[in-house]
Amino acid sequence: SAVISQKPSRDICQRGTSLTIQCQVDSQVTMMFWYRQQPGQSLTLIATANQGSEATYESGFVIDKFPISRPNLTFSTLTVSNMSPEDSSIYLCSVEGWEGQFFGPGTRLTVL
């Protein structure tokens, strides 16, 4: 399975600021995904990031709020913009491998 790392692992931010989360994979992958897990909740897909094209966002998520970059086949970033306390969540990236879909360790974000 792919080895996936995320930076930062956690952060505490002030409302109105932005945070960029990085996701690095140890092998080339076509599709990368970004999910959000709000406190005590399940996971919800934010967007699909393909290299060389704009990310595809799910209903309820917009590019202005969650801009995504995918500069190559091993890396992606998710920015949480103009944060509010409601953005406090765990953000996870994932990749599809030949045997399943695997997740990074997550970024635990707290917005004050």
Instruction: For residue 85, give both structure tokens.
Output: 């306390």
Burial of 104 (0-12, 13-18, 19+ CB in 10 A): buried
Tell me: does residue 44 bind another protein (CB under 8 A): yes
Contacting range for another protein; rule: CB under 8 A; set: 14-22, 30-38, 64-72, 79-87: 30-38
Task: Residue 27: name the closest of 3, 51, 53 by CA.
Answer: 3
**Which residues, 6+ apart, have CB-to-CB distance to 40 below 8 Å?**
none
Tell me: does residue 13 bind another protein (CB under 8 A): no
Tell me: does residue 101 bind another protein (CB under 8 A): yes
Nearer to another protein, 16 or 21 (CB): 21
Tell me: does residue 90 bind another protein (CB under 8 A): yes
Burial of 43 (0-12, 13-18, 19+ CB in 10 A): middle
Q: Which of 7, 22, 31, 50 binds another protein (CB under 8 A)?
A: 31
Residues that bind another protein (CB under 8 A): 1, 31, 33, 35, 41-45, 48, 58, 90, 92, 94, 96, 99-103, 105-106, 108
